[in-house]
Copies of this chain bind each other. A is one copy, B any other.
Amino acid sequence: MALIVQKFGGTSVKDAERINNVANIVTAVYREGNDVVVVVSAQGDTTDDLTEKAQEINPKASKREVDVLLSAGEQISAALLSMAIEKMGYPVVSLLGWQAGFETTSDHGNARIKRVNADRIRKELDQHRIVVVAGFQGVNRYGDITTIGRGGSDTSAVAIAATMHADLCQIYTDVDGVYTADPRKIPGAVKLPSISYDEMLELATLGAQVLHNRSVEMAKKYNIELEVLSSLTGERGTIVKETSSVEKMLITGVAKDDNIARISIIGVPDKPGLAFKIFSKLASKGINVDIILQSIGRNGTKDISFTVEKNKLEEALEQLQSYEETWGASGVVSDDNVTKVSVVGAGMESHPGVAAEMFEALYSRNVNIQMIATSEIKISVLVNKADGERAVEAIHDKFFANYN
């Protein structure tokens, strides 16, 4: 007997059939004698429908009212799932964010969970009820409804699991686990039985988009074992935990991120402090910089290149161009026709040959590398967008050819 937290995303509850399917999964775990807390997202299109209604009335509506509006989505799916579980004859109760004790900051639309007061959830579990919690939402100190932004319901689920010391937190989604590469693109991609928090974090950052970083970070902090799995296949998924497996795999995955653009500032005078000024200017506008490369130029100047999210490119260029003269640079150029390809693996820490093998794979397929960045468990390269798919294939073949 264990305490299991399960989270189901919007596609898993999109219609009556899928809701009944979720009810089957939930009650099967309950029947085994477990305490079950279920966190649900809004049904497939509900959030979009509600957003559209708001847009029509006031595209600049306050975030407070947007939160009141959108939180109705999870309220609806929580009630419907509870009804499906009732129909199967099991005791169940739905709780909204404020009822489930989600106390958050007041940052509407992107609130942080300060604390989960799980008294009510515990009381319901003591009554042997399945507890269905509306994800994504909480309440601030003034008693106003908040939503917790990106990755919302995943984060809700992990927060409950952390607060209640759950034995497992299952994240049901429309993929059945974490793969060595995007399985829709790379036929040889393999599902990993397990992966470490750090590897999962690197993969999430790199656009694998299975789990939101925020939920993985919280799981890591409180050492909550996550399982990523599909609500349709019924197969075991991928476990995310502190150490991935006894025999550490060299690398666990290859990921590609197209949402990226490169900026180069050309001919910057070679004086101390300039890089700091440039990047703090961008940071002050909330623009995150990723791979940074600085090269020695001619005549005591240097070129500084870096990548930003593609949708921040324009804003970044505006910032930089207004300071170009002040800094004495000779020009700013950009390229959004690029892709970042990365390999991730805790094993590479103790295995210095990975970078060389990766570069060899790319060379063998004639892929030109524009920039390189490395961390303890990740190597990323920037390549032409047209070469992206080929690069992922090449690297995946190199490291996973004999995995199956």
Contact = CB atoms under 8 A, between A and B. Distances in A.
Contacts of A104: none
Nearest to A49: B76
B99 A143 contact: yes
A19 interface: yes
A71 B83 CA distance: 15
A65 interface: yes
A94 B68 contact: yes
Contacts of A93: 64
Contacts of A62: 82-83, 86
A364 interface: no
Q: How many copies altogether?
A: 2
Interface residues of A, number: 38
B72 A57 contact: no
A65 B87 contact: no
B84 A57 contact: yes
A56 interface: yes
A259 B62 CA distance: 46
Given A68-B78, A76-B69, A120-B143, A83 B99 contact: no
Nearest to A85: B58
Nearest to A74: B72
A72 B69 contact: no
A122 to B, nearest CB: 14
Contacts of A76: 50, 53, 69, 72
7 contacts: A16-B53, A20-B57, A60-B87, A61-B82, A65-B82, A72-B76, A75-B75
